[in-house]
A and B are shown apart, each in its own frame.
Chain A
Amino acid sequence: MSPSFKAGAREGFRVCLPVSVGLIPWALVTGLAMVSAGFTPVQAMGMSFIVFGATAQLGTLPLIAIGAPWWLILATALVVNLRFVIFSAALAGPLAGGTLLQRWLCGYLLTDGVFATCLERLRSDADPAWRLGYYLAPSMWCALLWQCSTLTGVLAAGAIPRGWSLEFMASIALLVLLVPMARVRPMLVAMLTGGVLSVLLRGLPLRLGVMAAIVGGIAAGFATEHLQKKTEAR
């Protein structure tokens, strides 16, 4: 490991530590949900390691429980994961310095929280080794924290009262990510458009409304950036 990889790793870990706290209740809830769908602890942890994606896991659980056909389960998982193609494309340049194995690992470990927190610095820093450390260290930390918390949820299934609503801490974590972004005007427009569209289109099947809201939000942000540039040029 080069010194700049280590320096990047330290910085990435420091930046993502507060955000990673929001994973704990979410992982606990995912663990509880898998057990209540009828999985044994081994099956639940198997799914957690093979999939490692809360949205895909929670989205497919009800389908598995009712014995839905495999293609419907596959399609549902693909749709909720489409956003990762966008994230992956944004990370391709910054992470291009890694070996093939490292890049597969980067892909497996890709999560919303680390992506949102680290993207700006990943795009601006010039050192490939620093960028790899800055992405991989917090990603591995989040995976470790995620699996430990999921295991806790699996083993404690039933013991944690649902009335505590601890899963709301995940929503708070997302808000914590959004607030600093909102200081840039086009980013704020992207956010508001995405949020409002997601509420309006909630009736669409297969969570396609979320996809449409994301695309609409990106378009709105991009359009605002263009309008701003035109106004400044005058």
Chain B
Amino acid sequence: MNYDASLWLTFLLIGLATLLPRASFIVLGQRASLPDTVQKALRYAPAAALAAIVVPDVVLVNGAPELFNPKLAAAIAAVLAVTLSRNPWLPFVAGMAVLWALR
């Protein structure tokens, strides 16, 4: 497939749609700070967001939830590795080993 020069315009649009949300409050700074209650609530943003991204990935198989699947087993192995060991590489080794073994 070939694209013309407008592809670069598309990249710029997507780039702006990514840069502006990211830079918004950091660049505007204190002039546009959020209320204290909102700030407090925001402490939960990373936990909620990361879980919202990762849970469907390990629970869904072809778009439907499945409790016995290799990815979920691998995820449990990785979580156990984080809980039981301080080695930063072990979760990756354990998770991928379980995933490959069950496939």
Contact = CB atoms under 8 A, between A and B. Distances in A.
Interface of A: 17-18, 21-22, 37-39, 43, 46-47, 50-53, 56-57, 60, 64-65, 70, 73-74, 77-78, 81-93, 95-96, 100, 103-104, 106-108, 110, 112, 115-116, 119, 165, 168-169, 171-182, 186-188, 190-199, 202, 210, 213-222, 225
B62 interface: no
A103 B14 contact: no
- The majority secondary structure among interface residues of chain B is helix
B15 A50 contact: yes
3 tightest Cβ-Cβ pairs between the two chains A and B = A217-B48, A107-B23, A195-B55
A179 B52 contact: no
Contact of A177 (B42, B50, B65): B50
Contacts of B34: 89
A193 B41 CA distance: 14
Contacts, number: 266
Contacts of A52: 15, 18
A60 B15 CA distance: 11
A218 B41 contact: yes
